[in-house]
Chains A and B, each alone.
Chain A
Amino acid sequence: MLLALPALLGLVVATFILSRVIPGDAAATLAGDAATPAQIADIRARYGLDRPILEQAIIHVRQVLTGDLGNSIFTGRPVAEEIAQRLPATLELTFAALLLSTLLGVPLGLIAALDHNGPADHLVRLVSVAGLAIASFWLAIMLQMVFSMELDWLPLRGRIDVALGLPPRVTGFLLIDCLLAGDGRRLSSAMLHMLLPALTLSLPGLATIARFTRSGVLETLQKDFVLYARAAGYGRFRLAAIYVLRNAITVTVTQIGLLFGGLISGAVVVEAVFDWPGLGTYAVQAILAADYKALLAVTLVVGVVYAIVNVVVDVLQAVIDPRVSDGTR
């Protein structure tokens, strides 16, 4: 975990410099449409935007180290507060997508490997290629057209029915808050609202997981112990599910960890299409408003989440495969 700290510090500095060299005048945005040059200059001075960029970078790093992410240039509110409001929505969606990817991707990969070069294998390959090739934006709109507009099965946008409103906020994770409130109607509404965005977000991950699982299983099937297990009379599926999959899955688990970062960045598009009020839409709004404070904070938070997930993945790997922790692998 300690090794992640220099990486995060680098992230803070790099994103700060990037955010300040891209075009856009935060002071002009903050001043509003009808601002005079004097008003803009006043704001620039008030927020220290007129200082040399190196000085601004040092101030920013110092603020971040003390846990202060500053105020949003656009809304004037503390960025940490705004992110705390948005982060649970993104994490909830990302976890749901990851869960779908894993629950569907691992069995698909296993089936494809067991039917190597057979019809199931070809079908899974098709799904995998499609999952990686189809643009999330297009898929999201197609799902909206089919499931919301044509079939009228699922809601089109948002996290919950507008007429129901949100349950009392405890964790910010809507499903958990609905459960804590014991509110079945809101819970069902929240689950239905999550289906299409989670499905859209899960598809590339599903494809990746299926492919890694397939190749891991294929490799493991060549091992001697599988031959011995077969000779000992284990059934094909029992052998695959208990012995082969456990040996093959460590690579997939690593991949799932890496995917998490990809899913959070993929959420930018998916959240925008489905009006999911998470970090993705927050980042888009920040970019369009040249709100560099918000943008920097989002990058940092995503970086921290990513680092934490990597640590969790390392631990999980050791649990699944003891050879990782005792150094024999």
Chain B
Amino acid sequence: MHRAAFRSLFLAALVAVLPLAPRDAEAQQRPLVFGDTMPASLDPHALFDVPSQFVLLNLYDGLYRYQGNPPELLPWLATGHTVSADGLTWDFTLREGATFHDGSALDAEAVVYSFRRLLRMNRGPAGAFTPVLSPENVTATGPLGIRFVLSRPYAPFLSAIPLVAIVNPRLVEANIRDNDFGTAWLSANDAGSGAYRITPQSYQARVQLDLTRYREHFRGWSGNRAPIEEVRVRPVLETSTRILALMRGEIDVSDSYTPPDQVERVNRNARTRVARDESMRTFIIRMNNARAPFDNRDARLCFAHAFNYEGFNDVILRGQVVRNGGPNPNNLWGNPPDLQPYRFDLARAREYCDRARAAGAPLGREIEIHIQSELDQTVQAAQMFQADLRRLGINLRIVPNTWPGITGATARAETTPDMWIHWVSTYFVDPENWVGQMYDSQFHGTWKASSWYRNDGVDTLLRRARASTDRAERETLYQQAIRQVVTDSPDIWVYNTVNLRGLSRRVQGYQFSPVGSGGEIRLMWLEN
């Protein structure tokens, strides 16, 4: 290429780069940029994890929905429900006038279709229903009536109802390929009725998703004086980039896990703040109760007294969490009011260890603790624990792992690590989500019950609580179960999360709820 051609090319590039200055002027019209993690799939029946709640809350509606903190279960698409005296038959009535994004009516048939699809796919949130509900037992009793007949009483049924998004049957049916329930199509498209709909052609899996306000949403928009018209979901992978992008105004909403040491910095920035809300997400160090030395209660109590709760919560996490001494989050019903959490006390820990050693517990062997390498807190907790246990003559080896690696291993007691660290998030607001599924031995093989704890008395209490429809009775039963579980000390309960979501100061109306972590865009507006 000749020199003149090079020169022209360079000049062309320069001219192209020049018109960049008026960024501030453009900023006034910027849509809301949501920088939290995107779910792997947009099919609300295929996945059930924390990121998928964003889809559930914004693209879809359910019969009931949790709102506020503490979360209140409110009728949503339904106007209400009745339950038979035996707790088996649940009748819901739909409100009139709700429509899907294509304008078609959302009726009882759509609700029946959605529940049957979920149960037949047997994925995502189906696990909350399959033990008590089969597809043929979900029926329409009229254009607005839906009946569920359970195979046995199951009190958490209503708590789990908000997990199920109502999908547009006509759209899904038209896109079924090879008996896939339409999941390939729905993983990248929208068949909902929610307050926002997908901007066509905008979706790239795990990269971007653009949403547009659905003006005809059945709740109306009168409660929001300036609803957000356009939303751009742009997940930011790296924590440091996420914080900087928020402070620079490139994103408006970060994830809920701002590192505690960054909270002050974000709050100091003129553009940004951190919304601080106590959630229902507990941090737990698990012990494999099926394997020595953790099959010995004294050994477990030794470990429970050797973790420096105050040091971790108040110093490392800068007090941005709340000490939680039992399996349920503090702010949930069903906790014994007099529950005493274990304290960091190395002298007592030594006594328990000595007793355990005397009973033959092999505390001299190397104990492995698996951490989730990409999550700093699990690393920090393990390192702190390692240092304190060394003072008791216990050798703790830290093993890097990933969430899939650990959950895969917890399917069997033999492959479950000695110890591992994780959180239990709010999937539904009921003690069943924590103590029920963590310590009833019928859940062995799931990651939630991965401490392989077994106590027949606790099993009985939890099963009775699950079957009762009397809230007061359930509360008493859960309190008894929790007292026994804490006495047995199967795990080490460290804290309940305080959600630390970074927000641009132009974001107004943000309302936190432990279900969905405040990701409901319908409630927000922007101030320039």
Contact = CB atoms under 8 A, between A and B. Distances in A.
A157 B404 contact: no
A242 interface: no
A43 interface: yes
A36 B17 contact: no
A23 B20 contact: no
B427 A33 contact: yes
A140 B405 CA distance: 29
B316 to A, nearest CB: 22
A273 B247 contact: no
Interface string A38-81: 11101100000000000000000000000000011011110000
A277 B204 contact: yes
A28 interface: yes
Contact of B234 (A23, A162, A289): A162
B398 interface: no
A3 interface: no
Given A156-B245, A273-B238, A277-B204, A34 B26 contact: no
Contacts of A33: 48-50, 425, 427, 447
Contacts of B250: 155-158, 162
Contacts of B207: 85-86, 277
B65 interface: no
A226 B509 CA distance: 75
Given A29-B404, A37-B445, A144-B241, A75 B50 contact: no
Contact of A37 (B48, B202, B411): B411
A79 B419 CA distance: 35
B48 A192 contact: no
Interface in A279-321: 281-282, 284-285, 287-290
Interface stretch (A8-16, A108-116, A182-190): A182-190
A177 interface: no
B403 A184 contact: no
B16 A187 contact: yes
Contacts of B205: 72, 75, 77, 82, 85
Interface stretch (B120-128, B328-336, B458-466, B492-500): B120-128
Contacts of A275: 234, 236-238, 241, 245
B526 interface: no
Given A23-B408, A25-B411, A162-B232, A76 B184 contact: yes
A287 B402 CA distance: 9
Given A25-B404, A156-B248, A192-B17, A34 B411 contact: no
Nearest to B52: A32
Contacts of A36: 127, 130-131, 443, 446
A191 interface: yes
B409 interface: yes
A255 interface: no
Interface residues of B, number: 71
A272 interface: yes
Interface in B189-236: 202, 204-208, 210, 232, 234, 236
Nearest to B26: A163
B172 interface: no
B241 A28 contact: no
A25 to B, nearest CB: 2
A77 B188 contact: yes
A141 B238 CA distance: 11
A148 interface: yes
Contact of B18 (A28, A35, A188, A290): A188
Size bin of chain A's contact surface: 35 or more
A180 to B, nearest CB: 14
A149 interface: yes
A284 B125 CA distance: 26
B39 to A, nearest CB: 9
A262 interface: no
A212 interface: no
Interface string A262-284: 00000000001111010001101
Contacts of A209: none
Contacts of A188: 16-20
B402 A288 contact: yes
Given A32-B48, A36-B127, A157-B245, A289 B404 contact: yes
Contact of A28 (B46, B210, B248, B404): B404
A24 interface: yes
Interface stretch (B29-37, B305-313, B354-362): B29-37
A26 interface: yes
A29 B403 CA distance: 8
Contacts of B123: 30-32, 35, 39, 43
A32 B47 contact: yes
Contacts of B47: 32
A185 B407 CA distance: 47
A32 B411 contact: no
Contacts of A157: 236, 241, 245, 250
Contacts of A152: 248
Given A77-B188, A149-B248, A188-B20, A34 B48 contact: yes
B446 A162 contact: no
B489 interface: no
B5 interface: no
B240 interface: yes
A326 B124 CA distance: 64
Nearest to B13: A191
Contacts of A277: 204, 207-208
Interface in B394-414: 401-409, 411
Nearest to A281: B237
B114 interface: no
Interface in B436-472: 443, 445-447
Contact of A163 (B31, B43, B411): B31
A184 B20 CA distance: 10
Contacts of B41: 74-77
B183 interface: yes
Contacts of A40: 411
Which among B31, B128, B248 has the greatest number of chain A C-beta atoms within 10 A?
B248
A291 B234 CA distance: 21
Contacts of B446: 35-37
A158 B242 CA distance: 11
Interface in A75-133: 75-77, 82, 85-86
Contacts of B48: 32-35
Nearest to B188: A77
Which among A32, A77, A156 has the greatest number of chain B C-beta atoms within 10 A?
A32
B187 A189 contact: no
Interface of A: 22-40, 42-43, 71-72, 74-77, 82, 85-86, 141, 144-145, 148-149, 152, 155-158, 161-163, 165, 184-185, 187-189, 191-192, 272-275, 277, 281-282, 284-285, 287-290
Given A28-B411, A34-B124, A74-B40, 11 more contacts: A27-B408, A28-B407, A32-B47, A32-B124, A35-B124, A40-B411, A42-B122, A75-B205, A77-B205, A85-B205, A290-B404
The 10 closest A-B CB pairs, nearest first, are: A25-B408, A290-B404, A23-B405, A37-B445, A24-B404, A277-B207, A32-B48, A36-B127, A29-B404, A24-B405
11 contacts: A24-B402, A28-B404, A33-B48, A33-B447, A34-B127, A75-B206, A76-B40, A163-B29, A188-B16, A188-B20, A285-B206
